[in-house]
Amino acid sequence: MKVMAFNGSPRKKWNTATLLKKALEGASSQGAETKLINLYDLNFKGCISCFACKTKDGKSYGKCAVKDDLTPLLKEILDVHCIILGSPFYFGTATGQMRSFMERLFFPFYSYTDPPESLFSRKIPTGFIYTLGATEVMAKEMGFDHHIRLNEMFLERIFGATESLCSYDTYQFEDYSKMFAPRFDLEKKARRRREVFPLDCDKAFEMGVRLANKACKIRL
């Protein structure tokens, strides 16, 4: 059983990466082979609207025809048993790198039927981990939950069962005293980092366990 995680953050050792690694640890504890991909290490673009993936009887029908660093990974995904995405929120949505990856991942499998059908060959569980500098109240007031629900809808339609985990009010800087960010309460941020983020790490581990178990049941 193989689980792949994709980090949409430019940071490899910060909040999103930490939570993804915890999720993979959870999957590994259930016997899964795991792999973490840092999208910012790759040279690729989003969908270029060539529509090769939609061309009748075309050699690229149902798969992305663009050749770049994503090509081997998109091929590898065809045989994976679980996918976990992770991204911080930048201006109310996932990072540009994650959005570009999602375009390339989703569109070839998303058919123009009514209702839309998936061209992915089977059902696999997926998860999405979000990290936000905003508090839960701020995120709700700004409508961030709409973006999360939209991603869940596409993941469900294409791959099957999905779940999301949000880590709110995360620590953005190692030393807030060196940054101009007067809207933040330094002591409150530090306390949340100490007390709440470890709980989010536990939740990510548990997500990995659940997804691996679901993938195992589907295989059986």
pLDDT of residue 59: 87
- With 0-12 CB in 10 A as exposed, 13-18 as middle and 19+ as buried, what is 79? exposed
Kindly report the CATH number assigned to the domain that includes residue 114.
3.40.50.360
Give yes or no for a contact between 32 and 213, defined as CB atoms under 8 angstroms apart: no
- Measured CA to CA, the distance from residue 220 to residue 214 in angstroms comes to 10
Query: What is the total count of domains within the chain?
Result: 1
Report the chain (220 residues): mean pLDDT per 10 consecutive residues: 94 94 93 94 95 87 93 94 95 92 94 86 94 86 89 94 93 80 80 89 95 76
- What pLDDT is recorded for position 219? 58
Q: Name the CA dihedral angle for 3, 6, 7, 12, rounded to a multiple of 10 degrees.
A: 60
Residue 119 structural domain: 2-219
Cβ neighbours around 141 below 10 Å, total = 10
What is the three-class DSSP state of 73? helix
- According to DSSP, the residues that pair with 25 across neighbouring strands are none
Residue with tokens 């469900």: 156
Can you tell me the distance from the alpha carbon of 86 to that of 98, in angstroms, rounded to the nearest whole number? 8
Distance CA 161, CA 182 (A): 41
Amino acid at 198: P
| Predicted local confidence at residue 115, as pLDDT | 85
> What's the pLDDT at 188?
83
* pLDDT value for 155: 96
Model pLDDT, residue 96: 94
**Amino acid letter for position 167:** S
Q: What is the pLDDT at residue 172?
A: 82
Instruction: Map residue 155 onto helix, strand or coil.
Output: helix
Strand ranges (E), the chain: 2-7, 33-38, 82-90, 93-94, 126-131, 162-167
